[in-house]
Amino acid sequence: MTQLLTRPNRLAGVKSNITVDISDMKIASKPEDVIVTYSLGSCVGLTLYDPVAGIGGMIHCMLPLSKIDPEKARIKPYMFVDTGVASMLGELYALGAQRQNLIAKVAGAGSPLGREETFRIGQRNYTILRKFLWKNNILIEKEDVGGSKARTLYLYMADGKTTVKSEGKEVEL
């Protein structure tokens, strides 16, 4: 189980980056924390933020469904959208987040090899994510998905602001 990340406040107002690797998830609550994940291509990045509890998290999923490798999913649940997002929600709820307060934002789910990509992993990641969130009564508020560009996703814990950086531009979701 991922523990809530707490870091000593070395200097007031100084941002502290928490990196989410591929097939990884992080949760934070300190206002100075910024959660970030890099290189979202066909992978899907999801941020969930509860402004009432002041808690949020980010996940970087590589594949849509864990049924292709249940053993791998047991070891690395965040690799898959279905097991990863379920684990993320469970951990957020255990730390005080409430479903009705969660703000969901999504980035990635692209086709880095172009529209003719055989397996359409990005599209499948996005479809499974939308279905999973919908079944849990969570709607996606904003998204930056599809296309062939790589993205970097940021979640600022001070206010829940979520931004996507790609091709030298950073935009707020």
Report in angstroms the alpha-carbon separations of 82 from 1, 40, 70, 138.
Answer: 16, 18, 11, 14
**Closest of 92, 82, 67 to residue 133, by C-alpha:** 82
- Selected catalytic residue, list 28, 40, 43, 97: 43
- In angstroms, the CA 155 to CA 48 distance is 9
Nearest CA to 152 out of 41, 48, 57, 61 is that of: 41
Is residue 61 annotated as part of the catalytic site, yes or no?
no
Residues designated as active site: 43
